[in-house]
Each structure stands twice: as structure tokens, then as C-alpha cells.
């Protein structure tokens, strides 16, 4: 049995994986009254849609980078933080950013989908069958690759095309090793770190100490994804830093920079286009050649490791419980809505996808708050930056809100038998969204307030937006509840449910944005009052939709 | 909201002409039975007979196509929330919140059941000790064995001491000690004379030991109902076991000998 047989087996396994990813039957979701063939077809379609959305995001990044490369001659006429950057250095900087973003986005996507991949148990089903080890390994590897096929292919094909169109065909070909290496690293990192996460976090005990350790670990976990965001925000400063190092002439720092991934590969297109020699000394070219060869070797080793490791990870024994006497068996019940909030936070603390949604806005608030605090941006600058950060927090919390509904697929077939009102679930999840907004905005407020002379206005701005965030969460959850009643729960994780998450978030984003718009356009001297008025009106309109019509029922 | 029928407030469960279908496939067809106060009522049937579909309709997981379900007089279809408050349910598969520990899961269940901390803790402590769950009380459910998950589900069902227990194959993955405890517990549970237990199984010995009355389902249809003594009386001779009665009534005994003989050559 060879690759052909492995492909055939991976086909069957991928169908099962798609079904599990969309319907989460092994996670306790319940779906009734639908024909199996229709469910399978729908699952396959949804997975393709989700992969297409991820591919489109990557294509968007690629097009954005190409646009920057095209504008490079105009952009570089002005200094970056006091440094004039040459066009080839700017090009290398942009391509470094592009490869880094591709790698981080694919890695993050992998982390989203890996828990579903492991929970589906599709590889364990294949093990007892009379299939030789090599074919099983290949089938497992192909199955894993198929999770990323559209996004990875779009990066591998589109990047050379876009770069080639701007910098010339040679440059297009020259970027390919860097992109391929980035993809190989991303896929290997997702498997390696995802498995470690399942062992250390999903297997972590309950209680205060382990919870603290778990959240600390999760902050570290989110940092690479946050770095992706930071890279975009801090791009001009990074380009200036790179230019200062490279344009200063040959040095150890230059060689270290040239040997660092993905900068090693990012200098190849300018070299191929004939402009790279302007900043690259012959000795440094040797560094680039050696480093490139090293990274290509490492990427090949990663690919080989990946093909074998997927099977090992997929059939690894489940988590084992330790037998430790509980301190006490005391239980502390809460109100139903608070119990939903607590349950969601506890599940999020053992699920990277959900933890990310909670931590990302908070880290964003912290980073911008620290920036204004440390740099001491002038009062007006700090004020504007702070309002921008609060706006981002509101929009992020609203955008991520629908994803928390997906937690309900866990043990849905059991949860539906409990006497819990829909309104309690809506209130619990809305409280979580509002908490995320307030924590993120609070961090900005706490750090920025020290730099502005209008902290009260700043506080009023945060408070005025709060009803809009709640209204947005109400509308999003109201839509999802109605759909859940009609056709079952639609979202399983951010990857397989990206289609719904984006779709449902649109009305929420509009609701969250309207008061911010009112603040900008408000007549007279009290824009915060106008903002608050719009937000409260939205909340009054959204509440019946989410609470009254579902109040006495249980899903 | 439909008002309880006079006198029905004392009846743990009354199912009338219940039909359940998945698309065009009928799973339960005009099924009627009653669980009386103080009774453990067994639903028996082969795989696919409609036991789990009946139970899922009772606990609100599947909308019935037709019929009525009353839990202590409360219409479980029109007023699911009130009915669910009176039911403790153990599903046939132990698919739980994998990311929670038993403590966290039971705290959630106690919260939505509006139990106070003292009551919830006392009961959880007693059940955890009985099922020897103390050592795994703070481990994530994802790391627990099937049997231990089943114990967690049993405790969750018993935590609010509901007047009606609905148990779908509750003993299938329990160890012998826990099975013994469950049998004792169920017998005592209904001894007060006010509560009822609906119990589905295809293990005839357990039904024989535990149930006061049984219903035998076959392809969604009720074939027979009554105590073991009543069912024996209806048989060809009076000393049939429940298994023999079951196989005869469901016609599962037809071709049984031939099927066994066919296996001899393998």
C-alpha cells in the first residue's frame, strides 16, 4: 500500500473529522432530525468555507505587502523615526513581516483546530485495521495537511505571484523558499505546541494554584499571536531598527540579523531583483547562504518529523488522572447566570481558543496603556491613543463575543436537560463579553489616566460605550440561539465556525461602532452624552430580542 | 401552559401515545406507560427498540411528533423547564464538560438547580464517598475513565434528590461495587413511596433484580407491560426467565438456534 492508499484512507478520515469539527458529536453535542448524508455534505462545505476565509485573510496580507512594495519608492522618501530607509531594506522589512504573519496566522489556526483533531479520535479508529505502519503514518500526515491545504496553498502560490508582479519574476521565485519554510515551521509548531498544551493545560487539576498557573501559561501561549498584532502596530519602528543596523555597514549585529529567520529569506527577493547588493556586503552574503541552507534543512526535517508525529500524537494515550485526596468536597453554588459565566471561564482556562479571546483584548489594552505611560505622550496624544484603545477593546470584545456561544456545544446533549433558561445563558455570556471589555478598557484607563488631565471624561467614555457592547452581545447571542433552536449549534471552534463567527459579528460590530461614530459627529460640547444616549437606546432595543422572547424557555 | 390533570400531581411519569421520529424514520410509535409512585419501571428492548428515544423525549432532548408527557402532572412538552426541575437524568453516553473537574461540574449543576451550599456539599460528600470519587474530585473530566464519568453523572442526577429519576443504561460501565451501591440506592430511593425511577436497560438480569414493572419495546412499539409475575403468567409455561419472555415477545428468538449453529463452523 502506498501514497494512493494513504490518500484514500485520509479521505474517509477527513470526512469524519469534518463532521466532528462542525457537529462536535464526540464533545457531547446533539443533532436530531437531519439525514446523515446531508449532515456530512454540510460539514464538508462548512470546513471548505472556513478554510477559504483563512486563505482570504492570508491573501489579503499578501496583497497588502505587495501594495507596500509597490509604494516603497514613495514611502521611503520620508524618514522612519529619524532614519532614511533604502528601498531594498524596506522591501526586506515588508517581506519579513509578511512571512512572520503567515507563520503566526497558520500556527494560531492550527492551535484552534488541534483540540478538535485530537478529540475526534479518527486516527485511533484506523489503528486496529490491517494497514501497514507506513501507510497509516502517511494517511495521518495527509489528514493533518488537509486541515491547512487551502490556506497553505494560497500562501505558497500567491506570495511569489504578488512579489513577482512588483519586484520581477526572479524576486517572485526567490521568496518561495522563505514562504515554504514558514509554512513548514507553522505546521510543525502547531502540532508540537498544541500537544504540549493538551497535556499541561487540559490535564491541569482544579483549585486556585493550578488555575493561576494555567492562566499564566495561557498568557505565554497568547503572546505569539499577540506578537503578530504587535508586529503590525510597531512595523515602522522595526523597519527603522533594521535599517539602522543594516545601513550601518558590516557588523556582528548585521550578520546576526541576516541569520535570523525570516529576515534571511526576506533579503533574497531584493538580491534577485538586483537591488539587494546595495546593502549586502559579500561576507554577509555568505551568512545569508549558510543560514538559508540551515533553515531549509530544518524545514525539511520538520516536514519529515511532522509526517511521523501526526500519527503518534493522534493515537497517544488519553490524559491520566492522578489520585490525590480532595481537600474537601464542599460545593459553592451561584446564581444560574453567574454559574454560566464561571463555567465558561473555567472551560476557557483549559481551552486555548477561548483563552485567546479573553486575553487578547486585555493584552491590547495593557500594551497601549503601557506605551502611553512609558513614552509620556502629550496629554492630547495620550487621550486620543487611550480612546483608540478603548474603541479597539469594544470592537474586539464584540467581534469575539459570538465565539463564546460555541462553548455550549460541550455536553450540549446533557446541558439541554438541565432546567436553565436561555436568558440565564445569554446573561452569563454577555457578562463575560462585558467583563472582557471592562478589563481591557480598565487597563488602558488605569495606565493612561496618569498621563491625561481629563481622566473623568476618559472614564465616562468607557462607561458610555458599555451599553453598546452589551447590546451587541445580546443581538449576536439572540441570533445564535434562534439558529440553535432551528438547526442545532453552529459553531464548534473559531476555525471550523469562522463562517458563522464573522457573519454574526457584523450586526454586533455595527451596534458597537454607532456610539463611537456619534462621539465623533456629535454636535455641541457633550459628545460623550450623545454617545451614551445612542448606546442606551441600542440596549433598550436589543434587550427584548435576546431576553424576553427566550426568557421562559430552555433550549 | 396546560394545567395539571386532577390527581396526576402524584404520578411521577405518565406517557401517552408518544411518537418520536427522525425524519421519515419512526423510532417510537404511540407508546403509553405510567411510572407509579414508589416504582422502579424498566424499559427493555433490543438495540434500536426506541428506549433511548423515549427517554430523550421525556428529558427534552428530542421533540416528540405526537403524544403527551406529564411529570408529576406537569406537561413536559409545553413546560419543559418545570418538568426538568423535577427530573434527574443520566444519559447513556457520558459526554460531559471535559474541561471541568467533577467539583466544577457539580457546582454548575447545583447552581442551575438552585441548591444552597450546605445541602449541595453534604449530598456531594456522601455520594462521592459512596462511589469513592474523592481522589479524582479535582481532576479534569477529560482524564477520567468511563466508569468514573458515569459516577459523576449519577451524583449530578441525585444532587437535587429529584422526585423522578430517568436513567438510560446507568450501570453499563460501573464497577461491581458501584453497581451494588446503585441497586441499594435505587431501592431505598423509591421506598418513600412518592418518587419514581424510569430505568432503561437491555441486561435482563438487572431488570429482573431491580424493576417492579417492565415494558418490553420492539421497534418502537410496546409489546408487553407488567411485573415479572404477570408476564410469566401470560407465557406458555410459568417458569420462563425474563430473557426468555423478552426473546419470545420481541420474536428475537426466531432463527436464534440457526444463527448460533451457523457460528459453529467459524
Segment A323-370, tens digit of pLDDT: 777 678 899 999 999 999 999 888 888 877 778 778 888 887 887 777
Distance CA B15, CA B17 (A): 7
- A472-481: average pLDDT: 88
pLDDT at A554 over 50: no
Burial class (CB in 10 A: 0-12, 13-18, 19+), A153: middle
- Domain-wise residue ranges, chain B: 89-161
Band the pLDDT of A551: cuts 50, 70, 90.
Answer: very low
Instruction: Lowest mean pLDDT of A167-176, A283-292, A358-367, name the range.
Output: A358-367
Cell digits of residue A437? 471589555
Band the pLDDT of A179: cuts 50, 70, 90.
Answer: very high
Instruction: Lowest mean pLDDT of A207-211, A546-550, B84-88, name the range.
Output: A546-550
What confidence tens digit (pLDDT) does each residue in A369-406 have?
777 777 665 556 667 777 777 888 888 888 877 777 87
Q: Domain range for residue A190?
A: 3-21+39-314
Q: Name the residue facing A334 among B60, B111, B138 (closest C-beta).
A: B111
Residue B174 CB: number of other CB atoms within 10 A?
19
Residues A447 and A524 in one domain: yes
pLDDT at A160 over 60: yes
Q: Name the residue facing B128 among A207, A329, A336 (closest C-beta).
A: A329
According to the model, what pLDDT value does residue A440 have?
Answer: 86
Identify whether the C-beta of residue A517 lies closer than 8 Å to the C-beta of residue A527.
Answer: no
Residues A304 and A382 in one domain: no
Residues A296 and A393 in one domain: no
Chain B hits for A352, CB-CB cut-off 8 Å, are: none
The ipTM is 0.86
Task: Tell whether A329 is covered by a domain.
Answer: no
Residues A126 and A12 in one domain: yes
- A90-103: average pLDDT: 91
Residues A247 and A293 in one domain: yes
According to the model, what pLDDT value does residue A549 have?
Answer: 53
A 18-77 residues inside an 8 A Cβ radius of B: 26-28, 30, 32-35
Task: Tell whether A431 is covered by a domain.
Answer: yes
B130: DSSP letter: H
> Cβ contact (<8 Å) for A325 and B139?
no
Dihedral, A289, A292, A298, A303 alpha carbons, nearest 10: -130
According to the model, what pLDDT value does residue B131 have?
Answer: 92
List helix spans (H) across A76-168.
87-120, 122-126, 133-167
Taking the Cβ of residue A211 and every Cβ of chain B, the question of whether any pair is shorter than 8 Å is answered with: no
- A47-68: average pLDDT: 90
Band the pLDDT of A318: cuts 50, 70, 90.
Answer: low
> Cβ contact (<8 Å) for B120 and A331?
yes
Task: Tell whether A250 is covered by a domain.
Answer: yes
Nearest to B76 by CA among B91, B65, B86, B89: B86
According to the model, what pLDDT value does residue A359 have?
Answer: 84
Structural domains of chain A, count: 2
Q: What percent of chain A has pLDDT over 70?
A: 86
Identify whether the C-beta of residue A247 lies closer than 8 Å to the C-beta of residue A89.
Answer: yes
Task: Tell whether A215 is covered by a domain.
Answer: yes
Residues A542 and A500 in one domain: yes
Among all chains, which residue has been given the C-alpha cell 435482563? B204
B 73-92 residues inside an 8 A Cβ radius of A: 80-82, 84-85, 87, 89, 91
Residues A485 and A538 in one domain: yes
According to the model, what pLDDT value does residue B231 have?
Answer: 80
According to the model, what pLDDT value does residue A496 have?
Answer: 61
Distance from CA of A408 to the nearest CA of B (A): 9
- A51-69: average pLDDT: 92
A354 to chain B: closest CA residue: B99
pLDDT at A238 over 90: no
Band the pLDDT of A15: cuts 50, 70, 90.
Answer: confident
Residues A239 and A383 in one domain: no
Band the pLDDT of A460: cuts 50, 70, 90.
Answer: confident
Residues A401 and A469 in one domain: yes
Residues A112 and A181 in one domain: yes
Band the pLDDT of A552: cuts 50, 70, 90.
Answer: very low
According to the model, what pLDDT value does residue A278 have?
Answer: 58
pLDDT at A71 over 80: yes
**If you average pLDDT over every residue of chain A, what do you get?**
83
Chain B hits for A39, CB-CB cut-off 8 Å, are: none
- A76-93: average pLDDT: 85
According to the model, what pLDDT value does residue A312 have?
Answer: 86
Distance CA B25, CA A328 (A): 49
pLDDT at A235 over 90: no
For each successive 10 residues of chain B (266 residues), what is the average pLDDT?
A: 65 95 88 95 89 93 92 93 94 82 95 95 94 89 89 95 94 89 92 92 85 92 88 72 79 75 75
Number of helical (H) and strand (E) elements in chain B, helices listed first: 10, 10
- Strand partners for B68: B16
Residues A354 and A469 in one domain: yes
Residues A359 and A244 in one domain: no
According to the model, what pLDDT value does residue A377 have?
Answer: 57
Task: Tell whether A26 is covered by a domain.
Answer: no
- A448-474: average pLDDT: 83
Q: Name the residue facing B124 among A202, A331, A420 (closest C-beta).
A: A331
Amino acid at each position: 500500500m502506498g501514497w494512493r492508499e494513504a490518500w484514500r484512507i485520509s479521505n474517509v478520515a477527513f470526512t469524519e473529522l469534518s463532521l466532528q469539527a462542525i457537529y462536535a458529536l464526540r464533545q457531547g453535542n446533539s443533532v436530531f432530525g437531519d439525514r446523515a448524508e446531508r449532515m456530512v455534505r454540510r460539514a464538508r462545505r462548512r470546513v471548505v468555507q472556513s478554510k477559504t476565509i483563512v486563505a482570504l485573510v492570508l491573501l489579503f496580507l499578501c496583497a497588502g505587502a505587495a501594495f507596500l512594495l509597490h509604494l516603497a519608492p514613495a514611502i521611503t522618501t520620508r524618514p522612519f523615526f529619524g532614519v532614511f530607509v533604502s528601498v531594498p531594506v524596506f522591501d526586506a522589512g515588508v517581506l519579513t513581516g509578511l512571512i512572520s504573519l503567515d507563520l503566526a496566522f497558520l500556527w494560531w489556526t492550527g492551535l484552534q483546530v488541534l483540540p478538535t483533531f485530537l478529540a475526534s479520535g479518527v486516527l485511533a479508529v484506523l489503528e486496529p485495521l490491517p494497514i501497514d505502519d507506513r501507510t497509516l503514518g502517511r494517511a495521518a500526515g495527509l489528514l493533518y495537511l488537509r486541515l491547512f491545504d487551502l490556506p497553505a496553498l494560497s500562501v505558497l502560490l500567491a506570495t511569489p505571484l504578488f512579489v513577482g508582479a512588483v519586484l520581477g519574476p526572479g524576486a517572485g521565485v526567490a521568496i518561495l523558499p522563505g514562504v515554504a519554510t514558514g509554512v513548514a515551521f507553522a505546521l510543525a509548531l502547531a502540532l508540537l505546541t498544541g500537544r504540549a498544551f493538551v497535556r499541561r493545560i487540559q490535564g491541569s487539576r482544579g483549585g486556585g494554584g493550578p488555575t493561576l498557573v494555567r492562566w499564566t501559561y495561557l498568557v505565554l501561549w497568547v503572546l505569539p499571536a499577540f506578537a503578530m498584532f504587535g508586529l503590525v502596530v510597531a512595523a515602522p519602528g522595526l523597519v527603522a531598527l533594521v535599517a539602522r543596523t543594516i545601513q550601518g555597514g558590516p557588523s556582528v549585529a548585521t550578520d546576526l540579523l541576516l541569520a535570523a529567520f525570516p529576515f534571511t529569506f526576506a533579503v533574497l527577493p531584493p538580491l534577485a531583483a538586483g537591488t539587494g547588493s546595495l546593502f549586502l556586503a559579500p561576507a554577509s552574503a555568505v551568512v545569508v547562504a549558510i543560514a538559508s541552507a540551515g533553515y531549509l534543512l530544518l524545514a525539511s526535517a520538520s516536514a519529515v518529523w511532522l509526517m511521523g508525529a501526526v500519527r503518534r500524537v493522534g493515537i497517544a494515550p488519553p490524559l491520566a488522572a492522578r489520585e490525590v485526596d480532595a481537600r474537601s468536597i464542599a460545593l459553592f453554588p451561584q446564581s444560574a447566570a453567574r454559574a454560566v459565566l464561571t463555567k465558561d471561564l473555567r472551560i476557557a482556562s483549559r481551552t486555548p481558543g477561548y483563552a485567546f479571546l479573553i486575553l487578547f483584548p486585555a493584552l491590547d489594552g495593557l500594551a497601549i496603556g503601557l506605551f502611553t505611560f512609558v513614552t509620556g505622550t502629550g496629554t492630547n496624544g495620550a487621550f486620543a491613543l487611550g480612546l483608540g484603545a478603548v474603541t479597539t477593546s469594544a470592537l474586539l470584545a464584540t467581534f469575539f463575543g459570538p465565539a463564546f456561544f460555541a462553548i455550549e456545544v460541550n455536553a450540549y446533549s446533557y446541558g439541554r436537560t438541565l432546567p436553565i433558561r436561555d436568558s440565564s445563558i445569554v446573561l452569563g455570556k454577555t457578562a463575560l463579553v462585558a467583563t472582557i471589555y471592562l478589563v481591557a478598557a480598565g487597563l488602558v484607563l488605569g495606565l493612561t489616566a496618569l498621563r491625561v488631565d481629563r481622566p473623568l471624561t476618559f472614564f465616562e467614555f468607557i462607561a458610555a460605550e458599555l451599553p453598546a457592547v452589551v447590546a451587541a452581545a445580546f443581538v449576536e447571542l439572540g441570533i445564535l440561539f434562534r439558529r440553535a433552536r432551528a438547526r442545532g449549534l453552529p459553531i464548534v471552534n473559531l476555525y471550523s465556525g469562522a463562517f458563522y463567527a464573522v457573519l454574526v459579528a457584523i450586526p454586533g460590530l455595527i451596534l458597537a461602532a454607532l456610539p463611537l461614530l456619534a462621539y465623533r459627529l456629535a454636535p455641541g460640547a457633550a459628545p460623550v452624552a450623545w454617545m451614551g444616549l445612542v448606546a442606551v437606546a441600542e440596549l433598550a432595543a436589543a434587550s427584548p430580542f435576546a431576553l424576553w422572547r427566550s426568557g421562559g424557555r430552555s433550549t | 401552559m396546560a394545567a395539571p390533570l386532577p390527581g396526576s400531581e402524584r404520578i411521577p411519569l405518565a406517557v401517552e401515545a408518544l411518537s418520536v421520529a427522525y425524519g421519515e424514520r419512526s423510532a417510537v410509535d404511540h407508546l403509553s406507560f405510567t411510572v407509579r409512585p414508589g416504582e422502579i419501571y424498566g424499559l427493555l428492548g433490543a438495540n434500536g427498540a426506541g428506549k433511548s428515544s423515549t427517554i430523550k423525549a421525556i428529558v427534552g432532548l428530542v421533540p416528540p411528533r405526537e403524544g403527551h408527557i406529564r411529570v408529576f402532572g406537569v406537561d413536559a412538552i409545553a413546560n419543559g423547564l418545570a418538568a426538568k426541575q423535577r427530573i434527574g437524568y443520566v444519559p447513556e453516553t457520558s459526554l460531559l464538560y471535559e474541561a471541568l473537574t467533577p467539583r466544577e461540574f457539580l457546582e454548575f449543576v447545583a447552581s442551575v438547580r438552585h441548591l444552597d451550599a450546605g445541602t449541595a456539599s453534604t449530598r456531594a460528600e456522601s455520594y462521592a464517598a459512596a462511589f469513592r470519587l474523592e481522589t479524582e474530585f479535582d481532576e479534569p473530566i477529560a482524564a477520567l475513565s468511563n466508569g468514573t464519568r458515569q459516577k459523576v453523572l449519577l451524583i449530578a442526577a441525585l444532587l437535587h434528590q429529584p422526585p423522578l429519576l430517568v436513567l438510560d443504561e446507568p450501570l453499563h460501565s460501573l464497577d461491581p461495587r458501584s453497581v451494588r451501591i446503585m441497586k441499594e440506592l435505587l431501592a431505598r430511593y423509591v421506598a418513600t413511596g412518592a418518587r419514581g425511577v424510569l430505568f432503561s436497560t437491555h441486561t435482563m438480569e438487572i431488570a429482573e433484580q431491580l424493576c417492579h414493572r417492565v415494558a418490553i419495546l420492539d421497534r418502537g412499539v410496546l409489546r408487553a407491560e407488567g411485573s415479572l409475575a404477570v408476564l410469566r403468567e401470560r407465557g406458555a409455561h410459568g417458569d420462563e426467565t425474563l430473557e426468555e419472555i423478552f426473546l419470545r415477545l420481541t420474536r428475537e428468538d426466531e432463527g436464534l438456534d440457526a444463527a448460533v449453529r451457523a457460528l459453529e463452523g467459524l
